[in-house]
Amino acid sequence: MKKGVMRPGHVQIRVLDMDEAVKHYVDLLGLIEMDRDDQGRVYLKAWTEVDKFSVVLREADVAGMDFMGFKCLNEEVVDTLRAELIEFGCEVEDIPAGELKDCGHRVRFVAPTGHAFELFATKQQTGKWGVGNRNPEAWPRGLQGMQANRFDHCLLYGPNLDRTLELFRDVLGFDLAEQVVAPDGKRVAQFLTASMKAHDVAFIDHPEPGKFHHASFFLETWNDVLKAADLISMTNTSIDIGPTRHGLTHGQTIYFFDPSGNRNEVFAGGDYHYPDHEPVTWDASELGKAIFYHDRQLNERFLTVLT
């Protein structure tokens, strides 16, 4: 049941070299630099997003994800869910307004997979970049690289998937859209949605907590995914796999790495989800096809390279 969590609002990614990272996320992915703060963090957005930023880059010694934030309908939702998170057994941390520039109060908690998440309701809205809300043109001129449309989801690796599903479903109102189930009935992958999208966040069972597999950005068409592949080659960017299609969610996809080793995905298409949909289930015996629909076999790097 929906409880007022709307969408992925932001992800803070650790990078080893800020200049190289900005070049990657701006010139290649096509995100737009919106701001910087006195900690040296860089704030980026994709052009269709109405909020001021969705990706925050922080320079650090180790790559990975600091946290992922979900935007809620209003502050009352954040307050209600804060109380329910505590009741569930989560420790919550209140991050004051302004700690992220032009973002309101955030409630941070750690999921049983070891990942930090946040809920917030207030962030400056700058509107769709280059077109606005009034008689908007089809797309803005001046977009770079892959012209990413929006930050779409993260895929995260960690333990305790059952308890994490309870947290996201029962407390935060997400639905289980897709899953991979082992022969013994254990769920080894879960794709969760707060919306009509095939996933807003996804988890793969993994013994080490808090690992980051990828941040994903939406493109409009399969042809855009092919163009992304061209750009990856033109820039000698480290590629993981693709262009191909997923069995899970049926998205058309390509994976590559930022200069710090964080994996990125850009994808197009994919399934949709309504609250009355039963979860789509893939058997673990079909995992190759579930992940890479055409190759039907797993690439070791895809499973094991994490930040």
The token pair at 138 is 């089809």
Using the minimum distance from each CB to Fe ion, give the nearer residue, 81 or 201.
Answer: 201
Identify which range of 19-27, 41-49, 179-187, 260-268 contacts Fe ion by CB under 5 A: 260-268
The least CB distance from residue 96 to Fe ion, in Å, is: 32
Show which residues are catalytic.
153, 199, 214, 246, 255, 265
Between 12 and 216, CB nearer to Fe ion: 216
**Max alpha carbon distance in the chain (Å)?**
55
Q: How far is the CB of 152 from Fe ion (least distance, A)?
A: 7
* Number of Cβ atoms within 10 Å of the Cβ of 52: 21
Where are the strands (E) in the chain, listed by range? 5-15, 32-36, 42-45, 55-59, 64-72, 92-95, 106-110, 116-120, 150-158, 175-181, 187-193, 201-205, 211-218, 239-245, 252-257, 263-268, 280-283
Q: Which tokens hold the place of 163?
A: 């308890």
Nearer to Fe ion, 129 or 191 (CB): 191
Cis peptide before 243 (omega within 30 of 0): yes
State yes or no: residue 200 binds Fe ion (CB under 5 A). no
Q: Shortest distance, CB of residue 199 to Fe ion, whole angstroms?
A: 7
Q: Does residue 205 touch Fe ion according to CB under 5 A?
A: no
Among 113, 193, 216, 260, binds Fe ion (CB under 5 A): 216
Stretch that binds Fe ion, among 25-33, 70-78, 211-219, 282-290 (CB under 5 A): 211-219
If the CB atoms of residues 34 and 165 are measured against Fe ion, the closer one turns out to be 165
The label of the residue with tokens 């909020």 reads 51
Give bridge partners of residue 293 from the DSSP assignment: none
Q: Which of 10, 265, 268, 280 touches Fe ion by CB under 5 A? A: 265
Residue type at 145? G
Over the window 117 to 156, marking each residue x when it contacts Fe ion by CB under 5 A and - when it does not, the resulting string is --------------------------------------x-
Tokens representing 116? Answer: 């930090």
* Per-residue x/- track, 155-194, Fe ion (CB under 5 A): x---------------------------------------
Nearest Cα to 253, choosing from 302, 211, 212, 204?
Answer: 302
Should residue 262 be labelled a site residue for Fe ion when binding is judged by CB under 5 A? no
Stretch binding Fe ion (CB under 5 A), from 82-90, 110-118, 208-216, 285-293: 208-216
Q: Which part of the chain contacts Fe ion (CB under 5 A), choosing from 42-50, 137-145, 186-194, 215-223?
A: 215-223
R_g of the chain, CA atoms, integer Å: 18
Give the single-character DSSP code of 162.
H
Lookup: tokens for 96? 């004051």
Footprint of Fe ion (CB under 5 A): 155, 216, 265
